[in-house]
């Protein structure tokens, strides 16, 4: 279980109602719903990232979440306010283009440069075509498999500056990266995604002027 934001990550809300204290139930029922969509090339690590979030950093190997269990639900509280975060990815049972997400998390594989390029050349165009309100939606760029920087030759991996520049050209709001396998920076990545996501519920909305903050 991750995040300073107080998270409760065991399964779906319905499944968690049994045995809860009234105060906890009230908080969950009052919680604001935020939908997050993860997109990115095949095998870039989306499911493993979400599975690590769900399992926490002590459990190895990571039990993988099943696509059919989407959305993956995380109840968090931020500054004392409860949020009900629903994570979907492109393999969700309901076609992802039919969703109405509040935040888009565009992922790439740090060990596969083409996946960095296709964020801009493919995924950004796909989400623009699918969601008319994309200009008002915050975008987080998420680099996955950070552990590969130590394992592969330097020229085979994407370095942070290159990725950060890509995030800026995409007018992303945030750039974060982590390794789900080692757990490195997963907590920080999740916190930053949560903060970006929960800002979408404020009057000003979540999208900035394209100012990308590195985590
Ligand atoms: N080294 C390393 N490998 C990872 C990491 N995360 C995932 N992988 C591996 O990358 C492969 C693909 O991971 P998935 O999580 O299935 O990727 P995905 O984006 O969900 O793939 P699709 O659902 O097919 O699009 C698997 O073999 C994972 O074990 C990581 O942090 N580090
Ligand atoms: Mg997957």
Q: What is the pLDDT of residues 25-72, one digit of tens each?
A: 666 668 999 999 999 999 999 999 999 999 998 999 999 999 999 999
Least distant ligand from the CA of 108? 1
28 lines ligand 1 (CB under 6 A): no
Q: Identify the residue with better confidence: 113 or 152.
A: 113
Q: Tokens 């969703």 label which residue?
A: 99
145 lines ligand 1 (CB under 6 A): yes
The alpha carbon of 71 and the centre of ligand 2 are apart by a number of angstroms equal to 12
Residues with CB under 5 A from ligand 2 (ion): 46-47
Q: Which domains does the chain have, with CATH numbers?
A: 34-208 (3.40.50.300)
115 lines ligand 1 (CB under 6 A): no
The alpha carbon of 6 and the centre of ligand 1 are apart by a number of angstroms equal to 26
Between strands 32-40 and 174-177, the pairing is unpaired
- How many residues are given for the chain? 215
**Closest of 64, 65, 137 to residue 99, by C-alpha:** 137
Residue pLDDT, tens place only, 92-145: 877 999 999 999 999 999 999 999 999 999 999 999 999 988 888 999 999 999
Distance CA 139, CA 134 (A): 9
pTM over 0.75: yes
Residue 23, pLDDT score:
61
Rg for the chain, CA atoms, rounded: 17
């Amino acid at each position: 279980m991750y995040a300073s934001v107080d998270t409760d990550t065991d399964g779906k809300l319905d499944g968690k109602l049994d045995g809860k204290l009234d105060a906890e139930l009230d908080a969950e029922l009052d919680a604001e719903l935020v939908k997050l969509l993860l997109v990115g090339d095949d095998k870039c690590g989306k499911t493993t990232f979400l599975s690590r979030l769900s399992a926490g950093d002590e459990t190895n190997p990571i039990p993988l979440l099943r696509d059919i269990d989407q959305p993956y639900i995380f109840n968090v509280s931020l500054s004392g306010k409860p949020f009900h975060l629903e994570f979907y990815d492109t393999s969700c049972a309901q076609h992802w283009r039919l969703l109405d997400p509040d935040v888009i998390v565009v992922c790439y594989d740090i060990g596969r440069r083409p996946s960095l390029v296709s964020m801009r050349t493919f995924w950004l165009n796909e989400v623009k075509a699918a969601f008319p309100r994309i200009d008002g939606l915050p975008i987080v760029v998420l680099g996955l498999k950070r552990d590969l920087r130590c394992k592969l030759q330097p020229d085979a991996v994407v370095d942070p500056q290159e990725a950060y520049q890509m995030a800026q050209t995409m007018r992303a709001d945030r750039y974060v990266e982590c390794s789900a396998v080692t757990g490195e920076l997963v907590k920080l990545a999740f916190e930053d995604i949560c903060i970006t996501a929960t800002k979408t519920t404020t009057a000003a909305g979540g999208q900035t002027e394209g100012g990308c903050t590195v985590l």
